Structure 1
Amino acid sequence: MSERVYPPVIAAAKTMFRVLGLKIKIEGHEHIPATGGAVLSCNHISYLDFIFTGLGAHPAKRLVRFMAKKEVFDHRVSGPLMRGMHHIPVDRENGASSYIAALKALKAGEVVGVFAEATISQSFTVKEIKSGAVRMAVAAKVPLIPMAVWGTQRLWTKGRKRKLWQRNTPVHILVGEPMHPKRGDDYEQVAKELHERMQALVDRAQRDYPVDGTGQWWQPAHLGGTAPTPERAAELDEAERVERAARKARREAQKPQE
């Protein structure tokens, strides 16, 4: 597989991080296997999470193939980059094709990155996750590795202006011990354990974070921040889903009738 795009992108990102003085801390990268397939399941709090999750695997000298929504691949700027880095497009209306592509990559020895919450968590806690990541790991017979990022939401997240040039922002990336689900396990129970492990990593990242988030929009409500509670965040997600469905219906209604 040609890697003409991915290494230069990583080099450019690391240069930008140095220029911005981002204080990046990576822990647990030794849990990522040096060879062979693996599924990385990370929390999702920022539009930049795939960059930092990939950076977390870089000390292990692994390139991560991320599953990302198809719209990112359709964009005239990000599309060629995503395809050049061999990421995996996810079509909400045809999930089977992306699942098959991910399995093929895993069986070929690739590391596949997933954001099991599906969308950005506006409460900055780990949302409910489905068992898709578990099923992929089982089908491909590879480890399932929980991850967490923290601090990325301060740079660019849903409902907030981008602050990509905010200097000296700490970003913590934590990699947990691998899980080894197998056929015959209760996949929903394994997904629950994955959720618990991801939340524990997020909790640790928050405890160790060197900036006090009390009263800040980027801090969870249960830690004294002003972010929406998980319940309020769920309401916001549902309102967004309804609006997205309405927009789609309007577009369909405007199409010429055959």
Structure 2
Amino acid sequence: MTVRRTTEKRNWAWNLAVGVLKPPILASVRRDWRDGEKIPATGGCLVVFNHISHIDPLMAAHFVYDHGRLPHYLAKSTLFDNKVLGGFLRTVGQIPVERLTRNAVGAFDAAVAGIREGKCVVVYPEGTLTRDPGLWPMQGKSGAARIALETGCPVIPVGQWGSHELLAPYAKKPDLVPRKTVLMKAGDPVDLSDLVDQPHTPAVVGEATDRIMAALTSLVADLRDEAPPSERFDPRKAGVRPIGNPNEKPRKPRSGR
């Protein structure tokens, strides 16, 4: 495993985050990092991951950090509601996203601005934990593709596998024993060069999204040494909830008195 030191300036919050979070991660999992040097050492870029566990952001941040970059996430806006946590997240440059609202356009603008400032922005193109029964990458959302097409930045896909064994989807407690192995593999930049200068119509954005998800699926298949489904899972067609735990029944609204 090749580790590359970051040349980006870290503030106090980054130093605190690394000092607090890295030791327990190292103690909890074995890391099988592959080809992380494909993440550009400098300049704005978009790194996209498949999503199988709520612990993924910590593991992805570790992977990106180990290969020389400070990760900047599009994070759920509810995480910023707490003054202390929200202030900390903003200090380390994380970007709030209000999912399923018109305010999500602000996150797009912030991500584009971050990339143009030379930041490494991390995105989960699926928008939430995969709903695929086998935990394969499902149909992607358009956000990552739109950011990539707007900026023309390198899009580095990273397939991952194993974090779900440490913390299963929507589980409340991690499974620490025996020690789990998390595998991550970076791929070559997704080729969107023929799409960047075209009008960003739904068809063009859809094609870019499909290429990103295809690259992720190929990497996951390589890590799992299995063939992926012939068709990516579509939650809408399956009638699965778009966000939140798909196994929970929707809460009934309280009746007025």
TM norm. shorter chain > 0.5: yes
Q: Give aligned pairs, total.
A: 234
Aligned pair partner of 1:32 in 28, 31, 39: 39
Report what 1:9 is aligned to.
17
Report what 1:216 is aligned to.
none
Cα distance in 2 between the residues matched to 1:112 and 1:64: 6
Checking the alignment, whether the CA contact within 8 Å between 1:149 and 1:173 is kept in structure 2 is yes
1:51 aligns with 2:51: no
1:116 aligns with 2:125: yes
Cα distance per residue 1:90-110 (max 9 Å; x no partner): 012211111111111010000
Cα distance in 1 between the residues matched to 2:228 and 2:219: 18
CA RMSD, Structure 1 to Structure 2 (Å)? 3.3
User: Are residues 240 and 165 of structure 1, via their aligned partners in 2, closer, same or farther at CA, if it must alter by over 3 Å?
Assistant: closer
Checking the alignment, whether the CA contact within 8 Å between 1:28 and 1:175 is kept in structure 2 is yes
TM-score by length of 1: 0.78
Q: State the AA in 2 paired with 1:172.
A: L
Cα distance in 2 between the residues matched to 1:31 and 1:48: 23
1:107 aligns with 2:125: no
- SS at 1:148's partner residue? strand
Long gaps (5+) in structure 2:
1-8
Checking the alignment, whether the CA contact within 8 Å between 1:56 and 1:174 is kept in structure 2 is no
Long gaps (5+) in structure 1:
209-219, 223-228
Cα distance in 2 between the residues matched to 1:87 and 1:239: 21
TM-score by length of 2: 0.78
User: Are residues 159 and 23 of structure 1, via their aligned partners in 2, closer, same or farther at CA, if it must alter by over 3 Å?
Assistant: same
Report what 1:204 is aligned to.
222
1:183 aligns with 2:190: no
Report what 2:173 is aligned to.
162
Cα distance in 2 between the residues matched to 1:34 and 1:200: 24
% identical equivalent positions: 24
- SS at 1:146's partner residue? strand
Checking the alignment, whether the CA contact within 8 Å between 2:156 and 2:187 is kept in structure 1 is yes
1:98 aligns with 2:102: no
Superposition deviation, residue 243 in structure 1: 11
Superposition deviation, residue 239 in structure 1: 9.2
- Comparing both structures, which one devotes a greater share of its residues to helix? 1
Report what 1:67 is aligned to.
74
Superposition deviation, residue 76 in structure 1: 5.6
Checking the alignment, whether the CA contact within 8 Å between 1:52 and 1:173 is kept in structure 2 is no
Cα distance in 1 between the residues matched to 2:145 and 2:243: 28
Q: Which consecutive segments of 4 or more residues in structure 1 shift more than 6 A?
A: 241-244
Cα distance per residue 1:163-184 (max 9 Å; x no partner): 1644410001111111242221
Report what 2:147 is aligned to.
136
1:174 aligns with 2:220: no
